[in-house]
Each structure stands twice: as C-alpha cells, then as structure tokens.
Amino acid sequence: MRKFFPVEELARDERFTQITMRQSEADPRTVLLAEPTGKRPKTNRLTPDRPDASEAARSLMHGIFVGEIQALEGAGRTCFDFETGSGDAPDTVPFALKLDMARQAWDEARHVEISVKLSDWMGSEIGQFAENTVLFEVACSNDPVLRLAGVNRALEGLAIDVFTTMKEFGDMAGDPYLEFCEDWMLADEVTHVKMGSDWLRRVTENDPERRKNALEFQSVVDKIFSFGGTRSDSNESPIGLARRFRELAGFTNTEVQEIADVSLKALEERKAFSAASLNDGDTEHSETGTGTEQLADA
Amino acid sequence: MADPYKPRAPFAPWDRRQLPGTFDVEETARRVGNYKWAEMKLFEALGGWVATVPELDVKMRLGTHCYHHAWHAELWHKRLPELREMNPDRLTVPANDAMERFVEALTEPEAADQTIEKLVGVYRVFIPHFIAAYTYHRNNTSEITDAPTIRSLNFALHDEFDDWRDGEMMIQSLIETPDEVDRAAAHQAKLEKLMLEAGGIAGPGSIGGQ
Amino acid sequence: MSVTVTPEAFRFVQFDSGTVTRVAQELIAALGIDRPVHIEIDETTPLGRVRATIGAADGDAIAISVESGAFEDSRRPRQQSEAATAVSLGRILLRVRDRLHGGFGEAPADDDLELRQMAAWETYCAGRLARLGLHVNQQRWLYNFRNRHGFTDTADAGFHQLWAADGLTWGEVDAISTAATVRS
C-alpha cells in the first residue's frame, strides 16, 4: 500500500458519485442572485420554517454523511502515511498523535454509522447526492501539521457549525433523533478541534515558521470550507457560525472573528463571481456541480 | 458480622492464583515491546486501508478496529517503563526480520478489489496469532507479580476475539465464488508461511514449545 | 394534448427539452388532463420550486414554471434526471388536476398555503404517484410531513391516511392535516 493516497482513487461502491470543489464552484446558478426580485426569502439560514426545509436538511445530512466518510479516511491515512518519531520534521509524527488519529478514526466511523441511520430516517438514499471530495484533499497534505490545521481545526470547526445548525433545526422541528444525534456528534467534534489545536501547538513549539504556514493553510481551508458563503454569521448563509461551541473547542475570540471575516468574504466573492458568470453566460458544460449543498425541492 | 480482628487467610479460599511464572521482567518487557510494535503496525494498516476499500460496512469496521489496536499499543507503551524499560522505543521492535517481512506482505494489497486479501491478512492470520500469543502469555506468566500485564492482556484479548469475529464474518460475506475461496486461502497460506518463519508475534516461543 | 417547453436549449444546465416534453405528455395522458401545458424552466437557479397557473395566456392552458433543481439529478449536478422530472411534474400536475376536477374550490392559492397544508397535499400527491408506478421514496415524504405536523403517532396516522387516499376533497385533506397536528 502506498503512502499518501490520491483523492481521485478514494474507494466507493457504485452508489456514490464524486465531484471536486472546482467542479462544484463552476456552477453559476445561485439562490442569492434572485434576491432583488423580492420573490426569495431574506434569509437562507436552515430552519424548519423554510419552505424547502426538509429537502435542505436531507441534502445537508447527506453532505455530513460523505464528509464523515472522508474524515474517517483522512484520520486513518494519518496513522499510516507517516513514520512514528519526534514530529520535528514533516515525515514523522509522535506516537501519541497517531493514537489520537486512531481514536478520531473510530469517532468518525461512528459518525458515519449515525449519519447513515439519520439519512434513512429522513428518507435519503446512500449516494443520492453528489459527494464533494474537498475534505479528503485537505487531509492529503504531506505535512501532518497542515493536516491538523486543515482538518482538525478548519474542517472539524466547520463540523461544529454544521452540527449546531442541525441540532437547532432538530430541536425546533421536534425531531427527537436529529437533535439527539447531532448533540453527540457535536461533543466529539469539539474534542477533535481541541486535539488539533493541542498538537499543532506542541509539534510546532520550536518551529514558528512551520506554525505560521499551518495557520495560513488553515485560513485558506476555512475559506474553502465556507463553501462560497454557505457558512457565515450572515443570515444569507444556511449554516451559522457556532461561536459558543468554537470557544469550548479552544478557539480564541480573535480566531473566531477571523473565521467570521473569512466566511463573509467568501460569501461576497461567491455572489460577485456568480453575478459575473450569469452576465457572461460563459458556462462550461463539462463542469458539474452544486455539490452537497443543493437546496432543491426535487 | 465476623470479628474484624480475627486473623484471616491472606488469600481467600477461592483465590487460587499462583506465584511462579514462566517469564522474568526482562523477558516480559521483550514480549511487550514486540506486542506494541505489532499492534502499531496493525492499527496503521487498518487506518491506511480505510480509504482503499469500497465496501461501506468494511470501511466503518476498519476505522473502529483501528482504534482498538492503537489502544492496545498504548497499553503496551505504558507497561514498558513499569518493566524497567525507560526508553520504550528501544524495545518497540519486530520480533525478527521475518516479522517485518510479514507486515510488509500484509500491507501490500491496496487495490479496491483486494478487500478479501486485506481482511484475510488481518483476521485469518495476524489477529489469530495475537490471540495465541496473548493467551499463552496470560496463562504462563505469574498471576501475582505480573498482574498488570495480565489485566492488559485480558482487555486486549476481549477486543481481539470481538474483532476476529467481525472480520471473519465480513470475509465470509464477501466470498461468493470458489475462485474467491482459493484467493483467500492462497493469501492466507502466503502470510502464514511468513508468520511461521517469524515464530509468532513475539518470535519463536510466542506460544511456548521452543 | 400539446406540451411546449422553454427554453429549447440550455446554457447553465445540461437538460433536454425533448425529454421534458415526453415525460410531461406521458403524465398528462396518465392523469387524464385535457388542456395544453407550457413548461418554463428557470435554469439560473439550483432551487427546485415548481409553480402552476391555470388558465394562462391562451385561455385554458396550464403554465408551469420550474426552477432547474426540480429536474436535476442530485447525483450529477446540472444534469437532468428523468425520474426527478417525472415526480416534480407529476406532483404539480396532480395539484392542478385536483383544482380542476372540483372539491378543491376553497383551497388557498399555492402561495397562501400553510406549510402543513402544503405538506399534506404533497403527501396526497406523492402517494398517488407511487401507485402510478413512479419511483417515490415514502420515507422522504413522511419526514417532510412530520416536520410540518410533529413527530408523533397522530401525525404518522394522518400521513398514512393521506398516502393511501384517492378522490379526496380539499376539506378532507385539510381536516386530516389539522387532526394530524393534535398532540396525543
């Protein structure tokens, strides 16, 4: 088995269809553009009073499901891809870090199990929505510290936001399973973020340059995982920023604000990009994809 | 209530533990170091394979089992300093070269259509040898002086039996043709020969009879 | 009956207007709808709302406006799904037929329907489509119904009553929906 497994070869059964982030972003259609007509809601936040609430929740749940699969795969690869060592250089990781990654693999495997059950409960089929593979791409970095920054801090941070939104959705709708399950998964994600923060600090203790690079990488990933504004403080975003749980996970107020700023910027850029695409009518039909965030009532 | 000052036997009538054991501290540390190395290689392989298997149920089980073996490695890592090995890395080694070659062969399959080989290596060869070595160790070490190792062995054995059953059932559910029976058997034989050469998880004498 | 689809060619999605026409023709034949149907697809949005107007421009025609997500293959974004096309059109055409066939005179306009009323009517439509042989995931519609009526045995009973029903009036649909929201 090779070290560093390519994202293009992630193994799936025939029910799954995978797309890349680039393909996903190439879709010029957007719900936000039509706002000036006044026909669309002022808020996109995922709440039960949205007319498409059930479909949007199902779609997001499937996005969580495939995200958990990739998180499981990423944690597993970090156990295998690097030799055990001091962690001072990018080709080794400390033994205890590997143990934490193995623990995370178990947690993510449980999350996949939970997501399958919840998807079934919500009436979705496995593979019903396209799988965006951006998460595993982030988990493929050759430097384990970048994986910690990108996956444990940025991605698992996003998971905190998503699970909080879904937990609130379940609570408001009176869905006993959704609220219960999201609460449990949220507890695990807070642990994973703390794990990432702790290891990032420890491994780069004597290497400020490496730490700086990792934090820059995290910022880039935070922006990517804002999915063009899908997650931000703005009500235009379906998923809110879970400030309280992020603080529990060890993010400082400054860090949370930075993520908020990056997310809002991603939202604005997405709107500008979509407006330009629509005006140009310059669409490549070879590209596909709105990814896991299709808000269709179909 | 009985008189609390009346002398009682230090070992209750039902406590039949014996003092003598087959292994001294040094030998126990050597074996524990081999166990840790082997458990590490196993959890790393399981973690690495998760991304390579298309079967969703197998993918999830590998992720779960990955942690079981990482935890066993951690138990052995913590036991080593208690066995006078203050540098656990020194004893975290394969029993011999053949064991290293066994792990190389075990982790060789990568392709998405080799799930049978991956599972056979783990659940029909590696884990049965863990069960054998751990059982031998548990039944032959001093029940009094080496109680901490026995406790860890029992935890590990509990997982090993559960994981073996999971793995064996996954293999049986994946094998659908006589050709696949042959594939599984051939891979098992290939790995078993390497394990034979290694002499078991802790080398020759892993299950006694040296 | 005639079916027209606009646009004929698409820029943002890979849809085929011929497929939409064929699916619509099969549905109006199966549902016994005897009016011309015009379908207008908004390919600039991935949302999936579908609206209908009865008695459009040329008198008795049915005008259906569709956001592209309604016909989209959720596995392959921007590609068309014939199954999704059929179910989306089937749901709206059944609502149109309900309004045309009487018994639904007092039903509010689509925009004025409460969320629970829409969920109830959609359930009634989805059940009938399933019996027509279309691929409809019952659990999906149960989940939608529960979100609007509560996660209770009472709500589930209302759902199954609507799912299995045929020939209901709006008053009956609304009454079942109202009863389904009562907490036991």
Q: What is the mean pLDDT of residues A197-220?
A: 89
Bridging pattern class, strands C72-73 and C76-80 = antiparallel
At B139, which amino acid appears?
N
> At B43, which CATH number?
1.20.1260
User: CA–CA separation, A274 vs A271, rounded Å?
Assistant: 5
Q: Distance, in angstroms, between A250 CA and closest chain B CA?
A: 24
C73 shares its domain with C133 = no
CB contact under 8 A, A54 and C151: no
- Which of C66, C100, C134 is at the close of a domain? C100
Residue B19 host element (H or E): none
C76, two tokens: 């392959």
> Does pLDDT of A293 surpass 60?
no
Find the chain B residues whose C-beta atoms sit closer than 8 A to any C-beta of A. 40, 43-56, 59-64, 66-71, 73-74, 77, 107-110, 112
Between helices A176-203 and A156-173, what is the axis angle to 10°? Answer: 160
- Which residues, 6+ apart, have CB-to-CB distance to A100 below 8 Å? A195, A199
Which of A25-39, A45-59, B106-120, C85-99 has the lowest average pLDDT?
A: A25-39
Residues 6 or more apart whose Cβ sits within 8 Å of residue B80: B29, B32, B33, B36, B88, B91, B92
The pLDDT value given to residue B209: 84
Q: Is residue C26 in some structural domain?
A: yes
* Mean predicted confidence (pLDDT) in B72-97: 94
Domain that holds residue C54: 3-100
Decide if C29 is inside a domain.
yes
pLDDT in tens, chain C (184 residues): 799 999 999 998 999 999 999 999 999 999 999 899 999 999 998 888 999 998 866 678 999 999 999 999 999 989 999 999 999 999 999 999 999 988 998 999 988 999 999 999 999 999 999 999 999 999 999 999 999 999 999 999 999 999 999 999 999 999 999 999 976 5
* pLDDT for residue A26: 75
C7: distance to nearest CA of chain A, Å? 15
- Residues C89 and C132 occupy one common structural domain: no
Q: Does residue A296 surpass a pLDDT of 60?
A: no
**pLDDT tens for each residue of B116-157:** 999 999 999 999 999 999 999 999 999 999 999 999 999 999
CATH number at residue C39: 3.30.2010
Same domain, C20 and C87: yes
The predicted pLDDT at position A281 comes to 47
Domain span including residue B120: 25-198
Q: Is pLDDT above 60 for A36?
A: no
pLDDT > 70 fraction of chain B, expressed in percent and rounded? 100
- The predicted pLDDT at position A294 comes to 23
The model's pLDDT over B156-186, given as tens digits with 9 standing for 90+, comes to 999 999 999 999 999 999 999 999 999 999 9
Domains of chain A listed by start with CATH number: 50-278 (1.20.1260)
Radius of gyration of chain A measured on its C-alpha atoms: 19
Mean pLDDT (chain A, rounded)? 82
Closest-CA residue in chain A for C110? Answer: A51
B11 assigned to some structural domain: no
Instruction: Answer yes or no: do B51 and A11 touch at CB < 8 A.
Output: yes
Q: Mind listing the pLDDT tens digit for each residue in A116-168?
A: 999 999 999 999 999 999 889 888 889 999 998 888 888 888 888 888 999 99
Determine which of C75, C118, C122, C142 to mutate to test the interface with A (most A C-beta atoms within 10 Å): C75
- A274: nearest CA in chain C? C44
The closest of A163, A152, A154 to A262, measured between CA atoms, is A154
Between B195 and A289, residue with greater pLDDT? B195
Q: Do chains A and B have 3 or more beta-carbon pairs under 8 angstroms? A: yes
So what's the pLDDT on residue A243?
75
For residue A105, the chain B residues in CB contact (below 8 A) are 47, 50, 63-64, 66-67
pTM summary value: 0.90
Interface residue C96 vs chain A (CB under 8 A): no
- Which has the higher per-residue pLDDT, A84 or A260? A84
**Does ipTM surpass 0.90 in this model?**
yes
Chosen from A9, A84, A95, A140 to mutate, greatest number of chain B CBs within 10 A:
A95
Residues C33 and C64 in one domain: yes
Please, which pLDDT band fits residue A279 given cuts at 50, 70 and 90? low
The total of other beta-carbon atoms located within 10 Å of residue B21's CB is 18
The share of chain A scoring above pLDDT 90, in percent, equals 45
| Alpha carbon of A96: minimum distance to chain C alpha carbons (Å) | 39
Q: Which of C100, C127, C147 is the last residue of a domain?
A: C100
One-character DSSP codes across A66-95: HHHHHHHHHHHHHHHHSEES-SSSTTEE-H
How far from chain centre, in Å, is Cα A95? 27
